[in-house]
Amino acid sequence: MSDTIFALATAPGRAPVAIIRVSGPRAREALITVGGGKPAHSQARVRRLRSTDGRPLDTAVTLFFAGPHSYTGEDCAELHLHGGAGVVDGVTETLLGLGLRLAEAGEFTRRAFENGKLDLDQAEAIADLTDAETTAQARQALGQLEGRLGARYRTWRETLVDALARLEAAVDFPDEDVPVDVAQQARAALQGLASDLDSALADEGRGRRVREGYRVAIIGAPNSGKSSLLNHLNRRDAAIVTPTPGATRDIIETSLILDGFKVVLADMAGIRRTSDPIESEGVRRARAWAEGADFRLWVVDRAEQTGLWREAFGLVRSGDICILNKSDQAAGRDEVAARQGARKRGADVISLSLLNDGASTVEAALSVRVRQDLAGAEFPAATRARHEALLREARDHLERALSQLDEPELAADDARLAARSLERISGRIGADEILGRVFATFCIGK
């Protein structure tokens, strides 16, 4: 990392202020060349910026942070410019002329990671903070950046290190003055940690759902009111509503915020048997999306008598909501049958009319469910699929270690591998294969 990089750290386009960030061994030199004067650490100065040929560029606030006391751990500078494109372009051309290089996506944060300023999970939290659309996403990302996720992993690793010490004592000093059951003494620690990991894995999707959005499928027969419900919840016409059955063929995804949480709603093709190849593909996609959803809103036309509600019934899970729509009309045979089916499946039942603002009832019930599923008391042990996979890997190694305590050498190998799996979440071991993928998701200037 001998080169010095720079990038616009604010959004491009017309703005009151634009910030250019510089990092690397020539950051101080570049600031002196462009702004004059000797920069002092962590002090703001108003400088008249000039190009290398003396042409005035701007009057700006400049900041300098001497490494390692900076975001990246290197010498860093910031130029707070007026936000016009001409000003930004002039300073950019001058810095390029000095031999500085434009930063790649996430390169500042990657340097912070490689210089020991951040663990990898904290670097991921910075990307999540940048992308946060809701207060819940921001809270979770901030907690991760402040080390709450890393603290859990360090506690687990310390438990493993203690157990590993006992196992290795049994392997390395079999004839020394150590208890004959020293290897078995590691059992309680390993079992306790395995239990902690089991609890974490049971809760594995919560952090990821906060970050990516809680996925809710709206399912049901054609013309039951699915698209109307989507439109009411979004307070806009996101889907076409028509009396013609089968109008919705593809998945229509929209996002909304409920109690600070992001919810991804999906309207989809009505679930029925059809000979139309296009609609058939829509039904297949609908089933696949609904099966992978976190929650389902099952809409039933309570005025119907055809039994079409049964086609979507197989997708319903315990805790889902059955919406008996069209309560403003006389009930048909489908109402009683669908209500009984929902209760047997463990789904809650709401009877309403979407024409008479019944969507507010659905929104309230959905808000309750989202809070129940996402607002856990303890910070989640995983916020990305990468974390979940490594936790599962560590749990598998622990299980093997526990099954081999009569052979301490084999148990020690698996305990060591479990510790490495946990360390890879922070990125301090075996990070090379994932670094490029992680930092490629960052924006330029971060």
pLDDT > 80? residue 204: no
Query: What is the percent of the chain where pLDDT is above 90?
Result: 57
Beta-bridge mates of residue 49: 58
Mean pLDDT of 123-148: 93
For residue 240, what are the CA distances in angstroms to 90, 197, 256, 280?
49, 46, 18, 19
pLDDT > 60? residue 52: yes
Mean pLDDT of 307-333: 91
Instruction: Please provide the size of the chain in residues.
Output: 446
Mean pLDDT of 174-180: 49
pLDDT digits (tens, 9 = 90+) for 413-423: 998 899 889 88
Which pLDDT score, from 0 to 100, does residue 340 have?
A: 93
pLDDT band at 178 (very low <50, low <70, confident <90, very high): very low
DSSP, collapsed to helix, strand or coil, labels residue 405 as coil
* CA 425/CA 240 separation, integer angstroms: 44
Count Cβ atoms below 10 Å from residue 19 Cβ, excluding itself.
19
* CA 426/CA 403 separation, integer angstroms: 28
pTM value is 0.81
pLDDT band at 437 (very low <50, low <70, confident <90, very high): low
pLDDT band at 321 (very low <50, low <70, confident <90, very high): very high
DSSP, collapsed to helix, strand or coil, labels residue 139 as helix
Residues with Cβ < 8 Å from 366, sequence gap 6 or more?
216, 233, 258, 263, 295, 297, 321
* CA 372/CA 294 separation, integer angstroms: 12
137/169: higher pLDDT: 137
Helix-strand-coil percent breakdown of the chain, rounded to 5? Answer: 50, 15, 35
pLDDT band at 128 (very low <50, low <70, confident <90, very high): very high
* CA 97/CA 206 separation, integer angstroms: 49
pLDDT band at 203 (very low <50, low <70, confident <90, very high): confident
* CA 207/CA 136 separation, integer angstroms: 10
Computed over its alpha carbons, how large is the radius of gyration of the chain?
29
State both tokens at 435: 């670094």
Mean pLDDT of 332-346: 91
DSSP, collapsed to helix, strand or coil, labels residue 432 as helix
Which pLDDT score, from 0 to 100, does residue 169 have?
A: 72
Residues with Cβ < 8 Å from 328, sequence gap 6 or more?
353, 355, 356
pLDDT digits (tens, 9 = 90+) for 386-432: 899 999 999 999 999 999 888 888 888 998 899 889 888 887 665 45
pLDDT > 80? residue 54: yes
Mean pLDDT of 54-77: 95
* CA 261/CA 241 separation, integer angstroms: 27
pLDDT > 70? residue 301: yes
Count Cβ atoms below 10 Å from residue 102 Cβ, excluding itself.
14
